[in-house]
Amino acid sequence: MIHALWVLSRPRLLPFLWLLVIGGYGWAHWDRALFIRNPGSLPWVILAWTMLNAGTLWLNAALDRDEGPVLFGGRAAVPARIAEAGYGALFFAILLSLPAGALATALTALSALLAVAYNHPRLAMKGHPLGGPLINWFGYGILTPMVGWVIADVPQNPRTLAILAAVSAGVLGTYFAAQAFQAEEDRARGYRTLVVTHGPAVTLLAARSGVGLAVFLALGMAAIGWLPRECLLGAPVFLWLDRWLAHWAHQPGGGTESDAREFARRAFLSGVTGIALATVDYVSDSLAQQPVAGLGTVAGHPTDRTEAEWRADWFDRAKL
C-alpha cells in the first residue's frame, strides 16, 4: 500500500508545487528588497502543501481509479482505503501549517476544502465544466503562491495583485493543457470537462490563451518598469513555449502524456529564465550600489528622491 500511495501522489509534480510556494515567499522579499523574514515558517508551509497535494491526488485516484495515463504519474493498484488516506492527509496538512500562523493555516484549510469539493463523488467538481477550472485557478494559482507570501508578513500592493493575476492565468492554462490528452478517460467517467465537450483543439487553445495572458502580463509589467526590464530578454523563451503549444494542437487525439511533459519542461525553463534575468538585474544594481530588487524598479523608485535618500531608505527597509 505504501508503494501505491507514493506512486499515486505523483512526486514528480512536487517541484512545480514547491516553486509556487517558495515563489510567493520570494516575491514578497524581492518586491520590498527585504532580508529573510520568518524563515522558520517556510518549511512548515512546504510540508503542509506537500501533504495537501498528496491528499488531493489520493482523493483524485479514489474518484478516477487512475486507469489511464496521467501527467507525471505512474500505474499502481488503487488501495481500497485510499479515500481515507486522502482525507487524513488533508487534515494532517492543516496541522502542519499551524506553526506558520493563523493566516497560513486558514489558506491551507481552504485549499483542503477545495480538494474535497473537487474530488468528492457527490460533488466531483473535477468533471464540471466551470467548477474544475475555477478550483484549479484559485487553489493552485492564487492560494498556493499566496501561502508563501503571507508568511513574509508584508502588506499588499498593486504589483503583487498583478503578478498573482499573471501566475494564476498561467496555472489555468496549464490545467487545460494537462487534460488535453485525456478525452477518452474523462468521457468514460461521465465528466463534462472542456476536452470532452469541445475536443482537444479547443482545450489546447484555452491552454495557449491562459499561458499567453500570463506572458503578456509579465512582459507588460517589465515594459512599464514594474519588473526589471531585463526580463524582456526572456521573450524568445516564452515564444519557444508557445510554439510547442501550437505544435501540440496538431497532434491527433490531443497527443499523449509526453506532449504534456514537454510543455511542463518548457514552462519550467521559461519561469527559471525570468528569475535568472531578474537575478542579473539584482546583482548589477547591487554592484553599482543602487537600490535593488523591487525597490530598483519604476514601481518601487520614487522619482522625487535623491540617490542618497534612496540608499538610506533601502537600508532602513532591509532592517525590517
pLDDT digits (tens, 9 = 90+) for 265-315: 999 898 888 888 888 888 887 777 777 777 777 777 654 444 455 555 555
Instruction: Tell me the pLDDT band of 74, cut-offs 50, 70 and 90.
Output: low
The amino acid at 219? L
What totals of helices (H) and strands (E) does the chain contain, helices first?
13, 0
**Residues 9 and 137 placed together within one structural domain of the fold:** yes
Biggest alpha carbon distance in the chain?
68
Count of alpha carbons within 13 angstroms of residue 303, beta-carbon side: 3
Q: Which three cell numbers stand for residue 166?
A: 499573471
Contacts by 239-244, CB closer than 8 A, 24 or more apart: 240/266, 240/270, 241/211, 241/215, 241/266, 241/267, 241/270, 242/208, 242/211, 242/212, 242/215
CA angle 115, 204, 49 (to 5 degrees): 25
**Residues 228 and 204 placed together within one structural domain of the fold:** yes
Domain boundary pick from 155, 190, 219? 155
pLDDT higher than threshold 70 for residue 63: yes
> Percent of the chain scored above 90 by pLDDT?
46
**Residues 163 and 75 placed together within one structural domain of the fold:** no
Q: Which three cell numbers stand for residue 134?
A: 475555477
pLDDT higher than threshold 90 for residue 166: yes
**Residues 7 and 23 placed together within one structural domain of the fold:** yes
**Residues 89 and 110 placed together within one structural domain of the fold:** yes
Cα(153)–Cα(259) distance, integer angstroms? 39
Rg over alpha carbons for the chain, rounded to the nearest Å, is 21
**Residues 133 and 13 placed together within one structural domain of the fold:** yes
The amino acid at 289? Q
**Residues 44 and 120 placed together within one structural domain of the fold:** yes
Sign of the dihedral through C-alpha 195, 197, 201, 207:
negative
Residue count of the chain: 320
Cα(214)–Cα(219) distance, integer angstroms? 9
Instruction: Tell me the pLDDT band of 320, cut-offs 50, 70 and 90.
Output: very low
Instruction: Tell me the pLDDT band of 88, cut-offs 50, 70 and 90.
Output: very high
Cα(83)–Cα(56) distance, integer angstroms? 10
The domain that contains 103 carries what CATH number? 1.10.357
- What is the pTM for the complete model shown? 0.86
Domain boundary pick from 122, 139, 155? 155
pLDDT at position 304, please? 45
**Residues 176 and 310 placed together within one structural domain of the fold:** yes
The rounded mean pLDDT for the chain is 86
pLDDT higher than threshold 90 for residue 61: no
pLDDT at position 142, please? 95
**Residues 2 and 132 placed together within one structural domain of the fold:** yes
Please write the tens of the pLDDT for every residue from 116-144: 999 998 888 888 888 999 999 999 999 99
CA angle 49, 168, 92 (to 5 degrees): 15
Cα(176)–Cα(209) distance, integer angstroms? 10
More confident residue, 236 or 2: 236
Nearest 10 degrees: Cα torsion 126, 129, 135, 137? 130
**Residues 137 and 179 placed together within one structural domain of the fold:** no
pLDDT at position 305, please? 47
**Residues 17 and 142 placed together within one structural domain of the fold:** yes
Domain count, the chain: 2
Low-confidence winner among 48-52, 139-143, 201-205, 271-275 (lowest mean pLDDT): 271-275
Across 32-36, 219-223, 310-314, the highest mean pLDDT is recorded for: 219-223
Residue numbers of the domain that contains 105: 1-155
Q: Is 303 exposed, middle or buried (0-12, 13-18, 19+ CB in 10 A)?
A: exposed
Low-confidence winner among 5-9, 102-106, 197-201 (lowest mean pLDDT): 5-9
Domain boundary pick from 132, 155, 178? 155
pLDDT at position 214, please? 94
> Percent of the chain scored above 70 by pLDDT?
90
pLDDT higher than threshold 80 for residue 4: no
pLDDT at position 43, please? 96
pLDDT at position 180, please? 87
